[in-house]
Amino acid sequence: MVILAVALPLAVSCVVSSKPLVITAPPAVEAVRPTDQGAPRPEIHFYDDFWRALADINLQSAWIAAGSSEQRKLADGIQDFMNGDNAEADSTIVQLLSADDSEVREVARITYGAILSAQGDWLRLATYADTVNTNIQEYSGIRIHDPASVEAWAPTLKGMSTTLTFADTVSSVPLSRSSGGIPTIPVSVNGVTKYFWIDTGSSLTVLSSAVADASGVTTVLGDSLELVTAVGRLPAHAAVIPSLRLGGVTVANARAMIVTGSVLQLKGPVDEVPPEAIDGVIGFDLIRQLDLTIDDNLGRVIIRKPSLRPPTVKRPRNLSWYGVPIVTLLSEKGVAVHLALDTGADETFGTPGMARKSGASWQRAERRIVKGFGGSVSEPGVVIPSVRLFLGDVPLVFRRIFLYEAHYPTIFTLDGTLGADAGRGGVVRIDMTNGRLDISRK
């Protein structure tokens, strides 16, 4: 379930190319063996504008380019937040909610909401949502008052106390995949076993109305809100699941969204393929509290109780969250490439920023999807045939990556989305406690 981007095909007129490349295979992201040289050193890049550096998540350069103490303090607070120091970020950003600089003030407000969301502090989040200036509708494309935002959900869910209990430090469950390749696991909802997607792109856990009825989960009184998906906005209602169990982890009073089952479906790439019903989604609100490994080799999802691990030179922090999970990779020249992590998206895609920062060649392409009885449909676009990016010391080879103009619910300009195809056939570990995404080969 892609709930973090609205992607539009990139205009191909900007690419000088002759005959378009015909693509019949899907995109692929594969980890390869690290080289003796290791990962490239991060590039030092300076900007002449604070806001450009901030949008590019180059916070050190933003601090240097800052034109005021308020801008420097904002860069400090966001840097602390991206490094996982929520308490320090909270104390810094809260001072900027009444900043003299109106742009600093509004970005501080957005950041403050993100910090409270990351901390799971729904009571303060609801109070904050009530105090936001109702005359402000958006900042850099982010709708402040949005029925799909976490702030909109907070007043309804603020009185609920969610707890996680680990029966053991490590447990595992069988791994399966949807028809689109999304990882799914068995989940017990009030004792009823269903199969849920693992979806880092969903900010909250999602339950279909049919599963809610079968397991006795009822909605919480409150306004009808919205869930953002790749196919548009869907009406949703807040709910609390008394008992949600995955592996050895039991979640008591799990916050969730209930969506009508008839619309919570995955449609096939062609009309002949019937839609696939989705029981539910384990969202990033729970994933961030776990140390989660998706192991295709073993056919298991391994769930660990999070514990702090010291970062190393070879394996620094590379995973942060600001409205969406953000993975930082390096090009072969050390340029940072920032991708949204969305295990609910069946394919990885890029934006023009991925091509520009990585130095990859890109060209016109025609994607052909085979239909029944030998027919096919074609989709024109722009593609990166192949490019290598580094995740820590591990090179990842991206093949057949289509480029789109995409917009994400964050103040940053991201360079694409890392989907469920990343590391497929290998091992993917998501550890938000330590700010780490690790992908290893088969």
- 344 in the same domain as 244: no
Surface-to-core class of residue 198, CB atoms within 10 Å of its CB (0-12 exposed, 13-18 middle, 19+ buried): buried
- 203 in the same domain as 81: no
- 336 in the same domain as 403: yes
Q: What is the pLDDT of residues 299-323, one digit of tens each?
A: 999 999 999 888 776 788 999 999 8
Residue 3 pLDDT more than 70?
Answer: no
Contacts 24+ apart (CB under 8 A), 161-164: 161/253, 162/120, 162/251, 162/252, 162/253, 162/254, 162/255, 163/251, 163/252, 163/253, 164/249, 164/250, 164/251, 164/252, 164/286, 164/289
Note the residue count of the chain: 442
Phi and psi for 150 in degrees, rounded to 5? -60, -35
Residue-averaged pLDDT of the chain: 86
Predicted local confidence at residue 147, as pLDDT: 57
* Residue 89, C-beta contacts closer than 8 angstroms, at least 6 positions apart: 77, 78, 80, 81, 111, 115
Q: What is the pLDDT of residues 360-400, one digit of tens each?
A: 999 999 887 755 444 557 788 899 999 999 999 999 999 99
The reply to whether 279 falls in a domain is yes
Predicted local confidence at residue 373, as pLDDT: 45
The reply to whether 1 falls in a domain is no
CATH code at 267? Answer: 2.40.70.10
- 300 in the same domain as 168: yes
The reply to whether 208 falls in a domain is yes
Structure tokens at 134: 């109702």
Task: Report the C-alpha dihedral over residues 55, 56, 61, 65, rounded to 10 degrees.
Answer: -40
- 358 in the same domain as 273: no
Predicted local confidence at residue 224, as pLDDT: 67
The reply to whether 199 falls in a domain is yes
Can you state the angle between helices 150-157 and 102-119, rounded to 10 degrees? Answer: 50
User: How many folded domains does the chain comprise?
Assistant: 3
The position carrying tokens 């799914």 is 184
Predicted local confidence at residue 12, as pLDDT: 44
* Residue 196, C-beta contacts closer than 8 angstroms, at least 6 positions apart: 184, 185, 187, 246, 279, 280, 281, 282
Predicted local confidence at residue 145, as pLDDT: 53
Query: What b-and-e string marks burial along 130-153, b requiring 16 or more CB atoms within 10 Å of the CB?
Result: eebeeeeeeeeebebebbbbbbbb
> Last residue of some domain: 271, 304, 337?
304
Structure tokens at 79: 């840097």
| Lowest model confidence (mean pLDDT) among 11-15, 18-22, 391-395 | 11-15
Predicted local confidence at residue 315, as pLDDT: 80
Predicted local confidence at residue 310, as pLDDT: 80
Predicted local confidence at residue 268, as pLDDT: 57
Q: Which residues pair with 9 in a beta bridge?
A: 404
Predicted local confidence at residue 137, as pLDDT: 45
- 411 in the same domain as 328: yes
The reply to whether 240 falls in a domain is yes
The reply to whether 96 falls in a domain is yes
- 355 in the same domain as 297: no
Q: What is the pLDDT of residues 143-198, one digit of tens each?
A: 445 655 666 777 777 777 899 999 999 999 999 998 888 999 999 999 999 999 99
The answer to whether 211 and 280 are in contact (CB under 8 A) is: yes
The reply to whether 331 falls in a domain is yes
Q: What is the pLDDT of residues 47-86, one digit of tens each?
A: 999 999 999 999 999 999 999 999 999 999 999 999 999 9
- 410 in the same domain as 345: yes
- 283 in the same domain as 319: no
Mean pLDDT, residues 424-429: 94
CATH code at 390? Answer: 2.40.70
- 220 in the same domain as 175: yes
pLDDT bin (cut points 50, 70, 90) of residue 33 is confident
Residue-number span of the structural domain to which 86 is assigned: 50-156
The answer to whether 318 and 329 are in contact (CB under 8 A) is: yes
CA–CA separation, 201 and 341 (whole Å): 7
pLDDT bin (cut points 50, 70, 90) of residue 96 is very high
- 144 in the same domain as 173: no
Predicted local confidence at residue 2, as pLDDT: 43
> Last residue of some domain: 107, 124, 156?
156
The position carrying tokens 């602390």 is 80
pLDDT bin (cut points 50, 70, 90) of residue 5 is very low
Predicted local confidence at residue 223, as pLDDT: 61
CA–CA separation, 381 and 400 (whole Å): 11
Q: What is the pLDDT of residues 218-255, one digit of tens each?
A: 888 766 677 665 545 678 888 999 999 999 999 999 99
Q: What is the pLDDT of residues 321-338, one digit of tens each?
A: 998 999 999 999 999 999
The answer to whether 381 and 12 are in contact (CB under 8 A) is: yes
> Last residue of some domain: 156, 173, 193?
156
- 131 in the same domain as 23: no
CA–CA separation, 435 and 36 (whole Å): 25
Percentage of the residues of the chain whose pLDDT score is greater than 90: 59
pLDDT bin (cut points 50, 70, 90) of residue 408 is confident
Predicted local confidence at residue 229, as pLDDT: 57
